[in-house]
C-alpha cells in the first residue's frame, strides 16, 4: 500500500460556534504552512467565524456531516487526516483502510469520558501535558508524547470594531427549541435596548473573557466565589462572552450575591481590548479544561490571571509572575481565593513582564512552528 504523503493535511472541524478549539485549529494550519504543508479545512456550512481569519495555504470546504469525508476523499492518494471533531469509528476505519494516516486532536481531557472511539486512530494529539496524562490514564499509548501547546492569537474575531460595547449575552444554540425560539424573538426587542460603551469603574476589575460554555463551569465556580466577592466591595466583575440560555441563566443566579457589581458585555470581536480593559482574568474550574487559550491571550496582553492551582493551569500560569494560582474553591469554600484577593488589593502582586518572557515563549508562533515540525517528523516515521 502507498505510504501517506504530507504535502497537504486534511483537517475537519465541524463546530458551528467559534471558540478555543477553532482558534487552535487556525493556529495549527499556520504552523503547518510554515513547515511547507498546506491544509484542506472542512468546516460546517453554517459556521461563520472562519471567513474572518487570515489562513495562508488553506482551502476551506463545507462539510455537512463528518461521515461524508470518506466520500469526499474517495479516489485521492493516501494522506494525513486530522479530526478536531467527534468522529464515528466506522469513518476512521474506512479512511485507514484506504491508507490514510488518521489522527485526532484532543481539545478536552479524557477523564470521565469513553476512550473507545480513540482506539481506532493511528495517533492521538494533545494540547497539553494534562491531556496527555488523561489519555494514558485511559490505557491508550498511541498518543504523541509532546504537548502541542497553542498560541495567543489576538487578531479580531468577527466583524465589528471601535470601542468595547455591550452586546447580547446569549449565543443561541439553534439545535435546541427554546434557544431557537428565543433567538428569533431577540432581534425584535433589540432596537429598544440601550447598548452602552464600556467604561472602567473605580476599584479592582476582575474579568471573564470566554464563551460561557459548560466546560468552563462558571456557575459552579461563582457559586463559591460570589459570596467572597460580596464581602470585598472594592471588586467589580466584567463578563465578556456569550452562551446558551441555560448557561447564562445559571451564571446569573450564581452571581446574584454581588448585584450590580457584575456587568455582561456579550461577545467581543476585539478580544485584546477586552483583556486590557480588566485588571485580572478569572479562569474557570480546571478539570474539563484542556489548555485555556484565553489564559495565554490575557498574559500576552500583560493582564495577569487568577486560576485554581491545578492542571492544566500549572502549565499555563507562572505563579507569582504572570498570575496567581489559588486553592480550588471546592476544597475550602473560596478561603484561599479571598486571601489572594485581599493580598492583591494591598499591593501584593504585580505582573512581572521580564520574568514572563521565558514562560510565554512556550506559546509563541515560533514555538508552535517548531512543535509542528517535530510532529511531522514523528508522523512520517510511523507506519499506518
**CATH number of the domain encompassing residue 40:** 3.40.50.2000
pLDDT at residue 104 above 70? yes
**Pair 140, 223 in one domain:** no
Same-domain status, 123 and 256: no
Q: Based on the domain organization, do 210 and 335 belong to the same domain?
A: yes
289 is a domain residue: yes
Is there a domain that residue 164 lies in? no
Instruction: Check whether residue 122 and residue 72 sit in a common domain.
Output: yes
Residue 330 lies in a domain: yes
| DSSP states of 323-381 | EEEE--HHHHTTHHHHHHHHHHHTT-----HHHHHHHHHTTSHHHHHHHHHHHHHHHHT
pLDDT value, residue 188: 63
Percent of the chain with pLDDT over 90: 80
The answer to whether residue 309 is domain-embedded is yes
The 8-class DSSP code of residue 200 comes to: P
Residues 113 and 218 in one domain: no
Task: Note whether 244 and 142 are same-domain residues.
Answer: no
pLDDT number for residue 172:
64
Q: Give the per-residue pLDDT at 191.
A: 67
Same structural domain for residues 63 and 198? Answer: no
User: Whose CA is closest to 107, among 250, 333, 292?
Assistant: 292
Name beta bridge partners: 237: 206, 262
In a domain, 300, yes or no: yes
The stretch 230-238 carries a mean pLDDT of: 97
What is the extent of the structural domain holding 104?
8-151+365-380
DSSP H or E segment with residue 250: helix 245-254
Residues 185, 128 share a domain: no
372 pLDDT band, cuts 50/70/90, is: very high
- Residue 193 zone, left/alpha/beta (φ > 0; ψ -120 to 50; rest): beta
What is the average pLDDT value for the chain, to the nearest integer?
92
pLDDT at position 61, please? Answer: 95
For the ranges 77-86, 179-188, 321-330, which has the lowest average pLDDT?
179-188
| Nearest Cα residue to 262 out of 285, 234, 239, 232 | 239
Residue 170: strand pairing partners: 243
**252 and 226 in contact (C-beta within 8 Å)?**
no
Query: Quick one: 202 and 350 in the same domain?
Result: yes
What the block records as the C-alpha cell of 78 is 493516501
**208 and 126 share a domain?**
no
Q: How many other CB atoms are found less than 10 A from the CB of residue 310?
A: 16
Residues 140 and 64 in one domain: yes
Amino acid 384: pLDDT: 55
Is 157 among the domain residues?
no
Please state the pTM of the whole predicted model: 0.91
Mark whether 343 and 205 lie in a shared domain.
yes
In a domain, 350, yes or no: yes
Question: Within a domain: residue 290?
Answer: yes
Cα→Cα distances 158→119, 266, 268, Å: 36, 13, 8
Structural domain total, the chain: 2
Amino acid at each position: 500500500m502507498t505510504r501517506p504523503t504530507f504535502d497537504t493535511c486534511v483537517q475537519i472541524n465541524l463546530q458551528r460556534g467559534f471558540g478555543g478549539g477553532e482558534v487552535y485549529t487556525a493556529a495549527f494550519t499556520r504552523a503547518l504552512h510554515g513547515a511547507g504543508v498546506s491544509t484542506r479545512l472542512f468546516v460546517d456550512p453554517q459556521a461563520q467565524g472562519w471567513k474572518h481569519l487570515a489562513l495562508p495555504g488553506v482551502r476551506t470546504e463545507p462539510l455537512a456531516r463528518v461521515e461524508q469525508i470518506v466520500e469526499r476523499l474517495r479516489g485521492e492518494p493516501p494522506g494525513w487526516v486530522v479530526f478536531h471533531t467527534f468522529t464515528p469509528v466506522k469513518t476512521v476505519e474506512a479512511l485507514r483502510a484506504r491508507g490514510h494516516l488518521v489522527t485526532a486532536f484532543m481539545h478536552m481531557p479524557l477523564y470521565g469520558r469513553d476512550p473507545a472511539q480513540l482506539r481506532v486512530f493511528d495517533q492521538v494529539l494533545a494540547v497539553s501535558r494534562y491531556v496527555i496524562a488523561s489519555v494514558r490514564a485511559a490505557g491508550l499509548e498511541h498518543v504523541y508524547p509532546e504537548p502541542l501547546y497553542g498560541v495567543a492569537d489576538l487578531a479580531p474575531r468577527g466583524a465589528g470594531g471601535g470601542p468595547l460595547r455591550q452586546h447580547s449575552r446569549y449565543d443561541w444554540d439553534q439545535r435546541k427549541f427554546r434557544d431557537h425560539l428565543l433567538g428569533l424573538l431577540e432581534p425584535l426587542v433589540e432596537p429598544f435596548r440601550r447598548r452602552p460603551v464600556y467604561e472602567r469603574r473605580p476599584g479592582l476589575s476582575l474579568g471573564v473573557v470566554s464563551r460561557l460554555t459548560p466546560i468552563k463551569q462558571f456557575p459552579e465556580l461563582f457559586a463559591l466565589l460570589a459570596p467572597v466577592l460580596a464581602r470585598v466591595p472594592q471588586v467589580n466583575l466584567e463578563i465578556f462572552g456569550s452562551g446558551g440560555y441555560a448557561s447564562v441563566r445559571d451564571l446569573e443566579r450564581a452571581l446574584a450575591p454581588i448585584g450590580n457589581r457584575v456587568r455582561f458585555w456579550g461577545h467581543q470581536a476585539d478580544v485584546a481590548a477586552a483583556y486590557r480593559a480588566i485588571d485580572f482574568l478569572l479562569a474557570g474550574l480546571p478539570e474539563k479544561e484542556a489548555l485555556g487559550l484565553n489564559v495565554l491571550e490575557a498574559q500576552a496582553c500583560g493582564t495577569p490571571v487568577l486560576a485554581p492551582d491545578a492542571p492544566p493551569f500549572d502549565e499555563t500560569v507562572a505563579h507569582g509572575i504572570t498570575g496567581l494560582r489559588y486553592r480550588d474553591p471546592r476544597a475550602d469554600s473560596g478561603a484561599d481565593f479571598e486571601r489572594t484577593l485581599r493580598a492583591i488589593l494591598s499591593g501584593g502582586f504585580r505582573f512581572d513582564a521580564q520574568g514572563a518572557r521565558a514562560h510565554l515563549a512556550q506559546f509563541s508562533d515560533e514555538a508552535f512552528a517548531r512543535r509542528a515540525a517535530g510532529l511531522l517528523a514523528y508522523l512520517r516515521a510511523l507506519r499506518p
